[in-house]
Structure 1
Amino acid sequence: MVPYLSESRSKQKILGRQLFVLDDMMQLLERLETTDQLFNEPCPPNPGNEAHSRWKVLKSEYKEGVQEVEALISTLRDMMDKLHHKRDRLTNLVTALENKKDLSRQMGESLQTAYNALRVCEGQLAQLRAETDATLDRSADWQHLRDALQGYVEETQGVMQCRLLSVGSSELCVELRPRSCGSTSGQLEPLRLTVTWSPDDHFHLQVYQGTAGLLEVSMKGCLSHLSAALLEVMQCYTSQGEMLAEIQALHSRFAIDWRPGQRLLVFLKTASSVCNLRVEEGYPSRGTATLISVRRDGELVDNAVLQPPQKTLSLTEWLEFLSSSLNV
């Protein structure tokens, strides 16, 4: 390989010299105007020196240009490295900016959600305040009604004895006991009733029959008429005081069922014997008690065989007679 390269270099030098000579000849021919000048002009002392000098100058300029280009390439590489570094930094900054934008958007959405929740809470708070104010107003009304009811109860205590069983926000349970007006009415059992009221100053009075024997009564009206309603109930109860006191006393001695709506007293003597007695209005002063029917083993018993010793008997006497009768 080395001999080949050496021979090639020698050939290139010879070829270069020939080219220099050819170049000088061409320049000489260009300067000649006639063929006679070719024979008269002296031969150049060293053909090819000028071209060789020019070639060296060009070679030197080429080397300088190569060095300058290499320096520029090195500078360009440094600039490219800096540019790549700046691009990487810019990419990182853009990524960080995108992350901050996403975070800012999320924070904005969270802030909007919190703001909406705050608005909802404010609305609920306003509604609760309104409901609280309404409840306080109703409580004040109920307190007023309760005080008014307490006053009505105190007013009725001049006529009857009253005992509060329970007091609620809109309900009052009372037990009424008539004052002693005689030997019989003083034995009447207490009458239990319930009074409920509404914020529009209306009441609902409910009387329970229980063992008192009074027909269940339901009354409604303005709260200002409650005292009159209580007096009316008590008057109805005391007007039947003698009869109801007798029936209440009979409950402890006999198996009876008083039906005030029908004014019928059912006496269960045995499991198979049932007696029905009708009590007239005004009993015992203006009415009587009458035996209607007697059933034994589901069959009617002839009332003719059940003739009491007296023509007119009270309820107590009827029950005593039927209890001792062998025909029942």
Structure 2
Amino acid sequence: MVKGVSGVPRRPTGADVARLAGVNQASVSRVFAGKASGRVSPEVEQRIRQAAAQLRYEPHVSGQFLRSGRSSVLGLVVTDFENPFFGAVSRGAQSAAASHGHSLMLMEAAYEGDAFIPFRALDAGLVSGLLLYSISPPPDTGDRAPRVTLIESRLPGFRSAAFNVSASFRDLASALAVKARRVAYVDADLQRWAFQHRRSELFAALEESAPRTEVQVIEAPLRIDVAARTIAGALGSGPAPDVIVCADDVLTAGAYHALPAVGLRSEHDIDVFTFGGTVVGHALLPQPRGVRASGASLGSAAIELHLDQNPTTTEVDVPTQAVLDGPC
């Protein structure tokens, strides 16, 4: 905030940014309207963005839209606002978008009949692009594809940002080969690319490092209470596994709740590994080990790819890390 003539704090304006950066206001407008290329030097643009960050300046979205006819708002579309991993993704996306003078609008992946409602905002110019989080693009995407970026999904013809889990799962599989004869893999009961990819990569790693390990697949909903009942029922119907590996922190929390129901305790009787690193996983005691994935890094990478006017690739891999000696 800056102080007005009466000393009362007020919202900073483009003129304030221009004064601090030592440039004219037109240059500030061009930078935050996405029209700096060829008209504002990189050095001047950097000074403007540094001044804006210092003043905590945020461009007026409606004013930009009226001047340019093009929205600086991006839509982040999700299916489940309650999933804790989405919070980290949205924080990373919001921060990256703001650094480029864009705002982020959270949208639900809702349909009206066969019509994908977020497309209405895109077609009307209310948002300049959509980022679909763990959602397959609708069949009628058509010529909207260049303005759509996928997060934790892959499809030819679309830009996409997704976790690279191969190396982390190889490390995890090598550790499991030493201690596990039976592994229970708890997966989400959803037909989504992200979960299908994690399962296939882990199974390939186990086949390479521990080919004699038996794997029991338990599919459960992404709700802690329902997942707990599903996992308890599956564990109680046969020999207990040596290790449980969960595809998501929510499923891991469900596994922790399920173990006492079948007479087991985490770490004492069975090891539980997770994929995540969200607040849900951090709240579990003992904290699970597994594969750490940064939702904030994923969200940021997706925004950078979406806004890149001359990308050298259409697919960005965000690294993950196997954490086997301490909490994930």
TM-score scaled by structure 2?
A: 0.20
Relative to its length, the structure with more helix (as a share) is 1
